[in-house]
Amino acid sequence: MRDLPFDVDDPRLAAAAWSRLLEPGDKVTAALVSRLGVVEALQWLVSVGRRGVDAGAGPSAQAAARLVPRLEHLDIRRELDVLARLGGHLVLPGDQGWPAQLDDLGEERPFALWVRGRLPGEVPMAQPGSARAGRPAVAVVGARAATAYGQRVAAELAVGLTEAGVAVVSGGAYGIDAAAHRGTLTAGGYTVAILAGGVDRLYPAGNAALLEAIASDGALLAEVPPGCAPSRSRFLARNRLIAALAGATVVVEAAWRSGALNTASHAAGLSRPVGAVPGPVTSMASAGCHRLMREQGAVCVTDAGEVLELVMPLGAVAPQSPPVQASLLDDLDPGAARVLDALPARGSAVVPSIARAAGLSPAEVRSALGHLELGGQVERDGGAWRRARIARGERGERGERGRDRGTRRGSP
């Protein structure tokens, strides 16, 4: 076997190399590398490759048999160059930007994070009340094939959490994930999308504009280098990072068997609170949420105030955010609902910024705005668009009622 074309004694290069060599979820090899250290483990693997692998000599040799073929064309500097061209950063355990809550994963902690956007450490997201206390974060996850109800609730939760200073973590997928990210961006908050592939592969492609917006105003994170394609096993392994990065996980919609339930299971295993949003008993899209509440003790949550109770220290007053007026979104097609959600509650926005927040093309946004204008829900503001005054007034009245309810709940 040839010598590797980079310095295997460099801890940063060695950690980056292991993120390419090791598949997420390979617990046996991860434990081996954690115990040896990234440099010594890589030196060992190279030496095994030079002398040949005996696949029958125990777990370590079996691990080497899986990994040595990946050494053949490994030059991690290429992936680091790609990351640099994207304006990204490599973050290792112990770096200033490393999210300390990932250390709760123990030997399943990633060896490196490939990051596009603001480093997590620049926007602290530790659990309140812990030694790492800072800005709390909540994971909002759920079905890709989400209903209009589920997407609306996810967006409302994200807006309310953002107004309370909470970061929103999700997976960048269609459906609930996308609604949560969009709600956060629309409200001017910080959101993190944890990807199953490399940060250069904006997957799913239909969410590429949304993911670029997250990279600009929040962060895209991956534990695998650029060039790595998302796969089912990587999706499942990625879920543990979503659960660990957040102080609590909320499932908005999920079928009886769902990847969101996998994330909730990881959260419970880390002693993180789990919340679930109820839905119609006849809806298969909510069957997994009801299962979480019935079988696994998930907390029933219906608004951002109830979610905040999961992450705020005992005795803290959770600010009640005004919910979006549901009637404004009723009977709208999904595109128009996304455009209306993307408009700021106050002020106006131009078509390109609305398109970026909604994840639609400018042509789709213009078409939706025309229908919304006819319905009296939006109005022109020079060259921009804003919510119609009557719509904003109705939302404000509902917000006052929500704040009154929050005051009553917090009163003795």
Q: Is residue 402 part of a domain?
A: no
Residue 283 vs residues 3, 101, 257, 276, 407: alpha-carbon distances, Å: 57, 35, 14, 15, 33
Average pLDDT, stretch 263-270?
Answer: 96
Please check whether residues 131 and 162 belong to one and the same domain.
yes
Q: Which helix (H) or strand (E) holds 245?
A: helix 232-245
Indicate if 94 and 187 belong to the same structural domain: yes
Q: On the CB side of 56, how many CA atoms lie within 13 Å of its CA?
A: 0
Q: Which of 127-131, 219-223, 280-284 has the highest mean pLDDT?
A: 219-223
Q: What pLDDT, on a 0 to 100 scale, did the predictor assign at position 394?
A: 41
**What is the domain extent for residue 18?**
11-74
> Does the pLDDT at position 126 exceed 50?
no
Co-location of 228 and 338 in the same domain: no
- Residue 358: pLDDT band (50, 70, 90) is confident
pLDDT of res. 121: 60
CATH of the domain at 164: 3.40.50.450
For residue 275, tell me if it sits in a domain: yes
Tell which of 278, 311, 344 closes a domain. Answer: 311
Residues 208, 131: one domain?
Answer: yes
374: domain CATH number is 1.10.10.10
* Higher-pLDDT residue of 121, 136: 136
* Residue range 317-332: mean pLDDT, rounded: 47
> Does 21 share its domain with 98?
no
Give the model confidence (pLDDT) of 88-120 as tens digits: 999 999 998 899 999 999 999 999 999 999 875
Give the per-residue SS3 of 169-200.
EECCCCCHHHHHHHHHHHCCCCEEEECCCCCC
Asked if the structure places residue 321 within a domain, the reply is no
- The two three-digit tokens of residue 288, written as one number: 């997994």
Q: Are residues 296 and 166 in the same domain?
A: yes
Q: 404 in a domain, yes or no?
A: no
Residue 126 in 3-state DSSP?
Answer: coil
Q: How many CB atoms lie within 10 A of CB 88?
A: 24
Residue 214 domain flag: yes
| Confidence class for position 271, pLDDT limits 50, 70, 90 | very high
User: Is 1 within the bounds of a domain?
Assistant: no
- Counting residues of the chain whose pLDDT is more than 90, the rounded percentage is 55
Instruction: Kindly state whether residue 399 falls inside one of the protein's structural domains.
Output: no
191 and 101 in a single domain? The answer is: yes
pLDDT attached to residue 289: 97
Say if residue 303 is in the same domain as residue 336. Answer: no
Any domain includes 26 = yes
- Confidence band of 308 (pLDDT split at 50, 70, 90): very high
Same-domain check for residues 44 and 128: no
Q: Are strands 299-300 and 274-276 parallel, antiparallel or unpaired?
A: parallel
| 238 and 341, same domain (yes or no) | no
Which residues is 91 bridged to in the sheet? 113
Q: Are residues 84 and 70 in the same domain?
A: no
Mean pLDDT across the stretch 276-283?
Answer: 94
Does the structure show a pLDDT above 80 at 332?
no
Which residue bears the tokens 């961006």?
185
Half-sphere exposure (Cβ direction) of 36: Cα atoms closer than 13 Å: 18
Comparing 201-215, 223-237, 350-364, the range with the smallest average pLDDT is 350-364
Q: Which position has the higher pLDDT, 70 or 185?
A: 185
Specify the pLDDT at position 72.
Answer: 81
Identify the residue with better confidence: 53 or 306: 306
**Window from 59-73, 187-201, 237-251 with minimum mean pLDDT:** 59-73
Helix (H, G, I), strand (E, B) or coil at 275: strand
Q: Are 126 and 153 in contact (CB under 8 A)?
A: no
The tens digit of pLDDT for each residue in 161-219 reads 999 999 999 999 999 999 999 999 999 999 999 999 999 999 999 999 999 999 999 99
The reply to whether omega before 204 is within 30° of 0 (cis) is: yes
The count of domains in the chain is: 3
Same domain, 169 and 301: yes
The last residue of one of the domains, among 74, 89, 106, is: 74
Last residue of a domain, one of 287, 311, 335: 311
> Predicted confidence band at 401 (pLDDT cuts at 50, 70, 90)?
very low
